[in-house]
Structure 1
Amino acid sequence: MDIYQHFRKEEKPFIDQVLSWQEEVGRSYQRKLTDFLDPREQKVFSSLIGNNDDFRWRLNGGSPSSERKRAILAPYYEEITGSDFELALLEASYPVKFVSLGHRDVLGAFLSMGIKRKKLGDLIVRDGFIQIITAAEIASYVRMNLTNIKKASVNFEEVSFGQLMEKGEHWQEKNMTVASLRLDVLVKEIYNISRQTAVQFIEKGLVKVNFRVVDTPAFMLEQGDLLSLRGKGRSHVKEIHGLSKKEKWKITAEVLK
């Protein structure tokens, strides 16, 4: 059976990577700790490894609700604990009366240091505090070099995960019936814009699916996909219920408010 037929064409490189991890762990009997995986990558990883009795695996991003998580793939006889994921929680404060910071500002400052996104887990900015979950191996480098964000001076310190803040996000459900699972159709319905405008946004590279730019209006969405439209926020294909009697798709989406 061709394993690739169950996934999207553009996911082949990641599938090959997961299969190589599995082969490596099976051959060397040494566990593999990955970088942070986005939700779609987590789904692909868990689908490929499945219930294989030769391996034990877990995902962890700092809390059960974490969006981005590291994975550990280990021989079946090994125990996996939370400390094995080598996570660090960094926290800094900033004066909310004098500067306004958002998720994009902090992420931009982080990436400007030359660190790859896959080394960064969830990022929380609220109530005058910034919390960044990173791979432990880069925590000291971040603390020493990330000292300014926008016009604010910041001083990051490592704190315990018991101090991890809730994201404070509110997702609003939206039930809809659509003729197709095409990206342009869903963007139109979720963001209440015209089909033509949705197509223009997509072709201009303003739409991401699972954190990757998709510029093809005919791209087919699946349950669990995360969407973002620049300037209009994020959304989530929470559930695809199936076809109605009129051959239209019944869908529950979530929009981040």
Structure 2
Amino acid sequence: MSIYQHFRPEEKEVIDQVLNWKDQVENTYAPKLTDFLDPREQHILKSIIGQHSGIQWDLFGGIPNAERKRALIFPDYYESDKDDFQICLFEVEYPKKFITLEHRQVLGSLMSLGLKRGKFGDILFEDDRIQFFVSEEVEDYIRLQLESIGRASVTLSKLPFAESIQTSEEWRECSVTSTSLRLDTVISAVYNISRQKSQLFIQQGMVKVNWTLIENPSFECKEGDMISVRGQGRSKIMGIEGKTKKEKWRIIAGRQK
């Protein structure tokens, strides 16, 4: 049975990448460190590598409950260590009294440096403090190049992981019904908005499923999917519990608090 059958067609590129990493470790008998992976990519990696004896994986993103993590794939003789993940933590220094910065501004400024998203880990906020994780190989480049975020001039200070902002994800569960598992109807049910509005959000490029932009309203949602709608927050499909007497799907969803 093909490994691709277990995943969505659009995930083929990630699957091929993971299979390539696996082969590399088997052939060289040496560890392989990846860029930062989003949780869906981590799931695919675990599913594929987990079936092969002789090869192990470990994930680390700087803090225990990091969302984006680097993966280390290694032969089973190897003992992995936090230093192997080559991650650096920066705190952003900016004129906090006069300016407020948002997550998208920080990410936008980092992306404008011409680096791939995979070079950056989580961006953390606590009150007016901002931190982010990066791969060590781009640490010096970012320190030199990142001079402003939004309209604020910034400088970066490097910190040990022990001084990182601690985040906790809390989900508020709710049960909703939806006429189908199409993305537009699921968004409409979970966020309690009209279907027209949910279609508009999708068409305007404001919706991601599993950290990937989806512009097709008929995209079919599955259990475990993470949905984010810009301006509306994130939700997660925790369970799909079959159909009601009126032939509607009963969905257990979590909304981020």
Q: Which interval holds the TM-score relative to the shorter structure? A: over 0.9
Please name the residue that 2:178 is paired with: 178
Corresponding position of 1:135 = 135
State the shift of 1:171 in Å.
3.7
Which residue of structure 2 lines up, in the alignment, with residue 240 of structure 1? 239
- Residue 113 of structure 1, CA deviation: 1.0
For residue 245 of structure 1, report the CA deviation from its aligned partner.
Answer: 5.1
- CA distance in 2: counterparts of 1:164 and 1:45, whole angstroms: 26
Residue 58 of structure 1 corresponds to: 58
Please give the alpha-carbon distance, in whole angstroms, between the structure 1 residues aligned to 2:144 and 2:173: 41
The CA deviation string for residues 9-52 of structure 1, in whole angstroms up to 9 with x for no partner, is: 00011101111111111111111100010011011110111142
2:223·2:239 contact (CA, 8 Å) conserved in 1? Answer: yes
Give TM-score, length-normalised by structure 2: 0.93
Output the CA distance in 2 between the equivalents of 1:245 and 1:100.
47
Contact 2:65 2:168 in 1 (8 A): no
SS of the equivalent of 1:43 reads: helix
Identity %, equivalent residues: 46
1:35 is aligned to 2:56? no
Q: Which residue of 2 aligns with 1:252?
A: 252
Quote the offset at 1:89 in angstroms: 0.5
Please state how far the C-alpha of 1:81 moved relative to its aligned partner.
1.1
Cα deviation digits, residues 162-201 of structure 1 (max 9, x gap): 0110236654322223232221111101222111221232
Specify the alignment match of 1:45 in structure 2. Answer: 45
Question: After the TM superposition, which residues 66-105 of structure 1 pair with which residues of structure 2 at under 5 Å, given as runs?
Answer: 66-105=66-105
Residue 220 of structure 1 is matched in structure 2 by 220
**Alignment partner, residue 158 of structure 2:** 158
Q: How far is the alpha carbon of 1:88 from its aligned partner?
A: 0.5
Distance in structure 1 (CA, Å) of the matches to 2:228 and 2:36: 19
SS in 1 for 2:27: helix
Tell me if 1:203 matches 2:203: yes
**Whole-angstrom distance in 2 between the partners of 1:148 and 1:219:** 38
CA distances 1:90-110 after superposition (whole Å, capped 9, x unpaired): 112333331010101111111
Shift of 1:244: 4.3
Which residue of structure 1 lines up, in the alignment, with residue 20 of structure 2? 20
Question: What runs of 5+ residues in structure 2 fail to find an aligned partner?
Answer: none
SS at match of 2:40: helix
Aligned residue pairs: how many? 256
The CA RMSD over aligned residues, in Å, is 1.7
Q: Check the 8 A contact 1:176/1:252 in 2, yes or no.
A: yes
CA separation of 1:244/1:110 partners in 2, compared to 1, >3 Å: closer, same or farther?
Answer: same
TM-score, structure 1 as length reference: 0.93
